[in-house]
Chain A
Amino acid sequence: MRGLERRHWRWPAAGILIVGALLVPPLAGLGEQLNPDSSAKFPIFLGTSALVLSLWAISYNLMLGYAGIVSFAHAAYYGVGAYTVAILFQRYHVPVLAGLALAPVVAALVGFLSGLVALRAVRLYFSLLTLAISQLLYAIAFNWYSVTGGDNGIHGLELPDFLSDYSILYYFVGAAVGVCLVLMFSLVRSPFGAALLAIRENRERARSVGINVRAYELAVFTIAAAFAGVAGGLYALFEQQAYPEQLYWTANAQPVVIALLGGIGSFLGPALGAFIYTVLDNQLSKNFAYQFDILLGGIVLAVVLLAPGGFASVPDLIGQLRRRFSREAESAVAESSGHAIEASDPGRAARIKAIQADRLPADTREPLLVIEGLSRHFGGLRAVSGVNLTVHALDRHAIIGPNGAGKSTLFNLITGHLKPTAGRVRFGGRDITGKPPHMIAKAGIGRTFQITMIFPKLTVLQNLQYAMLAHRGRTVRPFGRADRMYRDEALDLLAAVGLGPYAELPAGLLSHGDQRAIELAISLALGSRLVLLDEPTAGMSAFETQKAMELVRRVAQEKNLTLLFCEHDMEVVFGTAQTVTVMNQGQVLTQGRPEEIRNDPEVKRVYLGELEETA
């Protein structure tokens, strides 16, 4: 899995798997010659089955392992693929190979339509809906006798002559699976794949760097359905049948178990899982069918529970084991003491070309963000109430106020994470009120969050690279290598913020302070015209705070970024801001230049005095 150290054994292991797969028919033939009682047909048949299963499971892993989606409908698309071939052949006398070509199209269509419905719901509800959709498709296959053959299914498909030899059929299926795997492999390494990983790691962060989460989820759901359709079509080819139980939701146990067996953290892992599964299935499922279910469940449970921290940490576990043998990485982690920012180089950060927000002349101080009568009520609580606020281009604008004044709510209203109850937000002349977060991010508003929001299992470098890819709209590309894009720019920025030594480490391993630095770097990397910083220096020491704010100020100045930040540290506020807005109880109390605010008696009474007394 990307996000961990490079695995040097990956390519040799893949080579062994591929050579092993190629050798199945000759080895089976050899076995037949050595032992005349055995038939080469059976092992080759099992091999074909394992190939199809690996395609099915790897397509499932596109969702599970890469995008973090649990679907219980994958068996349905596999079944749709098989039925496409079978129905076209039996009712319309379409040759099976033509049917096979159509199988992914039909499966993708069904996947797209059902995904459109299921993805209206979020996470948990989504999984429940896929289960319902799966059972609905099963009900159709089971009951629509005139088309699907009902509970009997469809049997007796005829293959073209050249595929009648089972070795050739094996290689044919192998070639089809191989083509699909190459396509999927290129997909997961592409910028599109990077967007999926970002979504898996942190949906909110993904949104706020400009990723349309729903659209990407629908896309991967549809793509996975298409490949499941190919797998189902191939199944119909070599088994020469299709039957309703293929669609039943419990049939999803197969891709789930196979993906977990082989390891969802690696691309080809499920292929190994498919091989093991096929052997187990062949040995056990005839005589011990019920016990086989128990074994499958046991495998899933074991993987989910025994990996500390649960299933999602399996890749971590492997990474940790490897790290033990890598002194370099170990010492780097130990060094992540949370003070990276102390080593930052504001001048260098300000010279990085990739950060660019100068889309307007540097000297204009026109209104950039205009907020009018903005309100958000939670039940009876008026978190933000009738706020009017104008942020001028190139300004460094601070919002201060006691806890509960509505600062974070205001930020969330601006960035689309919350929908306003009333009021307007205009940015650069465009009305962005109520727009989704990814569109607002794309429009040029970047942000940090009060709680650290990064992509924990991706490397520090990837955190920046993928954010840059997403924000520049590159993640729609399903080809190319994401890890090679914006690499130099990202490394440059990392060095500038003092994170250089940790570039190749999973971001989640770094200490809290350094994760704050990543968060800051992401918000700067986007080159947004307006950057919202929600308590950027929370938890930093006085020296770190000074360095961090110097960095932010230098970058903002050089790159024409406009800053809007809220902060409790008055030294930061008065040292950085050019304009200060004071909020209290959801409303704007006053606004002015820092020295005006400092001397405003009303502000002193409400806020500053109170703070100084406690300080």
Chain B
Amino acid sequence: MSGGQLLLFVVGGLSNAAYLFIVAAGLSLVFGALRVINMAHGSLYMIAAFVTGVVANQLGLTLGFWGGLVVAVIVTGLVGALIEVVVLRRVYGEEHLVQLLATYALTLVIAGVVRTVFGANYRTVKPPAAINFSVTLAGNSYAAYSFFMIGAAVVIGTGVYILMYRTTLGRNIRAAVSDPELLSASGVNVARLYTVVFVMGAALAALGGAIVAPSQAVNASMDTDVLVLAFAISVIGGLGSIIGSLVGALIVGEVLSFGVQNQYTNPYAIAFVFIIMVIVLTIRPWGLFGKAEQT
């Protein structure tokens, strides 16, 4: 493998890692604060991708994608708020079994709704005109959009970090993770805080879905595809850890990128991800950056 090819795969892996990190960070944020693993996280991501597609194609090339992104985040955030109020609130503190089944049911409902509203056909979304060009590096051509995705992940990741560690909201969220009762006693509306956290998680899923839309065909099985990868990332990095999501996303993104390069390993690229998962679990059953849960 030449240096140029290597760079090609590395960049491909980074752009995978970019959208996967955004999505997995949302999953981790929600799990960290609410202790609920949201199986419908991929469904929110899919809603956003479809909304981006519809709006972008209406608005045209210059503004379309940006408009789609904004509308997608708003719509998905609202759906998230609805889900939190109607479903999640009733399962906080319940057994994992109840939480898994409830959010699993949501994946079925949302899959049905998305197919009913948008149809099951593939859609393509054009990148915004301003970044719809290619650049040549070391003899290979790269879509500028790939670099945009990587940049977006850096910006969003930094934003999440600032929000969690430099704002009152972030401080409250972190306090809610360790002791919701104490937080409630100190006058914070914990129920509303939980809604905010879930909407933030949904917004991250939406950002991931909107940003990924121009780089791959939008379709009705996106929910599952991304969910499996986001889970793999969470298991590798550790549920509830944002840093873990970052490291997990980098590992999974690169493994997928290098896995698909070869025609023999291509169909089984996902298998390598699972093998890494198994290795990590064997050494640290709670993931690289996760906290050990009492059995």
Binding site for B on A (CB under 8 A): 64, 68, 70, 117, 120-125, 127-129, 131-133, 135-136, 139-140, 142-143, 203, 248-250, 253, 256, 260, 289-301, 304-305, 309-312
Contacts and interface: CB of A to CB of B under 8 A. Distances in A.
Contacts of A203: 295
A256 B267 contact: no
Interface in B6-50: 37
A142 B106 CA distance: 26
Contact of A294 (B112, B228, B235, B277): B112
Given A301-B102, A312-B94, A120 B281 contact: yes
Interface in B253-295: 267-268, 270-271, 273-274, 277-278, 281-282, 285-287, 293, 295
A135 B270 contact: yes
Interface in B189-239: 224, 227-228, 231-232, 234-235, 239
Contacts of B109: 293-294, 297-298, 301
Nearest to B269: A139
B27 to A, nearest CB: 10
29 contacts: A68-B97, A70-B96, A70-B97, A70-B101, A121-B285, A122-B293, A123-B293, A125-B281, A127-B100, A128-B231, A129-B277, A131-B227, A132-B231, A132-B277, A136-B271, A136-B274, A142-B267, A248-B224, A250-B107, A250-B108, A293-B111, A294-B116, A297-B107, A298-B105, A300-B102, A301-B87, A301-B102, A304-B98, A310-B98
A127 B228 CA distance: 12
A64 to B, nearest CB: 8
A441 to B, nearest CB: 15
Nearest to B275: A136
Contacts of B63: none
Nearest to A144: B267
Contacts of B282: 120
A283 B243 CA distance: 49
B286 A125 contact: yes
B101 A121 contact: no
Nearest to B234: A128
A49 B274 CA distance: 33
Contact of B112 (A122, A136, A292, A300): A292
Contacts of B115: 289-290, 293
Nearest to B114: A290
Given A291-B112, A312-B97, A122 B295 contact: yes
Contacts of B286: 125
A10 to B, nearest CB: 24
B90 interface: yes
Contacts of B235: 121, 125, 128-129, 132
B166 to A, nearest CB: 26
Given A121-B285, A131-B228, A294-B108, A256 B101 contact: yes
B230 to A, nearest CB: 10
Given A131-B227, A290-B120, 12 more contacts: A121-B285, A124-B37, A132-B231, A136-B271, A142-B267, A253-B108, A290-B115, A294-B116, A298-B109, A305-B87, A305-B90, A310-B95
Given A121-B235, A310-B94, A297 B105 contact: yes
A291 B113 CA distance: 7
B102 A305 contact: yes
A480 to B, nearest CB: 28
Given A70-B101, A301-B102, A310-B90, A291 B116 contact: yes
Contacts of A297: 105-112
A446 B28 CA distance: 39
A127 B234 CA distance: 13
Given A125-B286, A294-B112, A300 B101 contact: yes
Given A122-B295, A304-B91, A129 B281 contact: yes
Given A133-B274, A143-B267, A312 B95 contact: yes
Nearest to A207: B295
A262 B162 CA distance: 49
Contacts of B87: 301, 305
B132 to A, nearest CB: 33
Contact of B101 (A136, A248, A293, A304): A304
Contacts of A289: 115
A299 B98 CA distance: 14
A312 B98 contact: yes
